[in-house]
């Protein structure tokens, strides 16, 4: 199609699939996949709590199920995620030391998940949400990550022990991913509130440079995943300039950019708000479509009443009746 021609490669555009859908939700969503999307991510099925329910045990049934669903739709599949502070298996937080985490737990988990999922994965979120929200300009990569006030920087057992005294846990995750991921898979640091020109965004660049230098992952294999859970409120950064600048800075390094979890929350679903939402959606898609290094774009959830932010947030492309909203038309016109 014209996008593929312009980018010289397949443009992967899609959404989530959750293993918990009712049969009515599944058939509605499948219809959208058959007609509109060519890319799928598991909303929950590939997270650590699903994939390693007891230590050392690989359980990829849910994750493989979503991948097979993608194959059956002629869609591509991205992996989310191998490391996150949330949706962890119950055996993990509080049970490991820092050296056990870095030497055994993380490499074993990343290997068994990435190796087990095999070749049909366009990109992996190797680490998810590791940068803090209270960061300031000039912080080192380590300071950016130590600022994250969640496990493993703050263990969930209440002891408050900080397991992160250096970034070896990040390096272990990435060097293992590099070893076992398909050669074409992009390896991402994925996070929210990183589209603008601010301290958290600067941290993402610091962390990426650190991974490149210390885990020996070449930039052409690296990506920043911009989750993009945003609100359609005035005063936010511009997708046309700030986001596009961030993509261009990554391109200058030889690294990839991707939109991994876009939803755009509304204060209420008025038609004026929906038109504003459509314009922002178009700007996001343009930022990716016109960047040389952006090939994957995921909308987080497909219908307002299936959305993790709740139906009242009206943050997806389709309304609670399953009808396309102005944003869906805005997007369709560009693909």
Summarize as ranges the residues that interact with ligand XIL (CB under 6 A): 43-44, 128, 227, 261, 308
Q: Are 107 and 83 in contact (CB under 8 A)?
A: no
* Min separation Cβ 128 and ligand XIL, Å: 5
Scanning the structure block, which residue is given the tokens 């509304």?
Answer: 266
Q: Whole-angstrom Cα distance, residue 188 to residue 209?
A: 12
* Min separation Cβ 185 and ligand XIL, Å: 18
* Min separation Cβ 130 and ligand XIL, Å: 11
Q: Whole-angstrom Cα distance, residue 53 to residue 113?
A: 12
Among 195, 183, 185, 198, which residue's Cα sits nearest to residue 144? 198
Nearer to ligand XIL, 62 or 289 (CB): 62
* Min separation Cβ 127 and ligand XIL, Å: 11
Nearer to ligand XIL, 191 or 274 (CB): 191
Nearer to ligand XIL, 224 or 289 (CB): 224
**What is the DSSP pairing of strand 222-226 with strand 186-191?**
parallel
Distances in Å between the Cα of 192 and the Cα atoms of 70, 133, 259 are: 25, 9, 10
Nearer to ligand XIL, 43 or 330 (CB): 43
Partners of 324 in the beta sheet? 318
Nearer to ligand XIL, 261 or 296 (CB): 261
* Min separation Cβ 174 and ligand XIL, Å: 18
Q: Phi and psi dihedrals of 123, rounded to 5?
A: -160, 155
- In 103-198, where does DSSP find H-type helix? 106-117, 141-146, 168-180
């Amino acid at each position: 199609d014209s996008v593929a021609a312009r980018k010289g490669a397949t443009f992967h555009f899609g959404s989530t699939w959750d293993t918990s859908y009712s049969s009515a939700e599944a058939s509605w969503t499948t219809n959208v996949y058959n007609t509109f999307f060519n890319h799928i991510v598991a909303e929950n099925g590939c997270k650590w709590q699903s994939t390693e329910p007891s230590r050392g045990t690989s359980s990829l049934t849910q994750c493989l199920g979503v991948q097979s669903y993608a194959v059956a739709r002629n869609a591509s599949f991205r992996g989310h995620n191998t490391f996150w502070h949330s949706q962890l298996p119950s055996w993990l937080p509080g049970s490991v030391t820092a050296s056990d985490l870095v030497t055994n737990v993380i490499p074993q988990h990343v290997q068994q998940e990435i190796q087990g999922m095999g070749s049909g994965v366009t990109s992996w979120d190797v680490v998810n949400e590791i940068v803090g929200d209270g960061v300031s300009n000039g912080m080192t990569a380590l300071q950016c990550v130590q600022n994250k006030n969640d496990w493993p920087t703050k263990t969930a057992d209440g002891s408050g022990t900080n397991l992160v005294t250096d970034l070896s846990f990040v390096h272990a995750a990435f060097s293992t991913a590099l070893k076992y991921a398909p050669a074409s898979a992009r390896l991402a640091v994925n996070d929210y509130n990183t589209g603008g020109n601010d301290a958290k965004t600067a941290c993402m660049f610091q962390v990426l440079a650190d991974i490149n230098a210390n885990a020996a992952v070449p930039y052409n294999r690296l990506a920043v995943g911009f989750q993009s859970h945003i609100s359609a409120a005035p005063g936010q950064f511009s997708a046309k300039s700030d986001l596009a600048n961030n993509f261009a800075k990554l391109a200058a390094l030889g690294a990839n950019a991707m939109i991994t979890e876009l939803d755009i929350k509304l204060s209420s679903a008025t038609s004026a708000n929906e038109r504003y939402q459509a314009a922002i959606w178009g700007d996001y898609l343009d930022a990716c479509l016109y960047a040389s290094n952006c090939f994957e774009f995921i909308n987080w959830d497909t219908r307002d009443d299936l959305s993790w932010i709740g139906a009242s947030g009206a943050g997806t492309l389709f309304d609670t009746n399953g009808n396309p909203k102005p944003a869906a038309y805005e997007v369709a016109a560009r693909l």
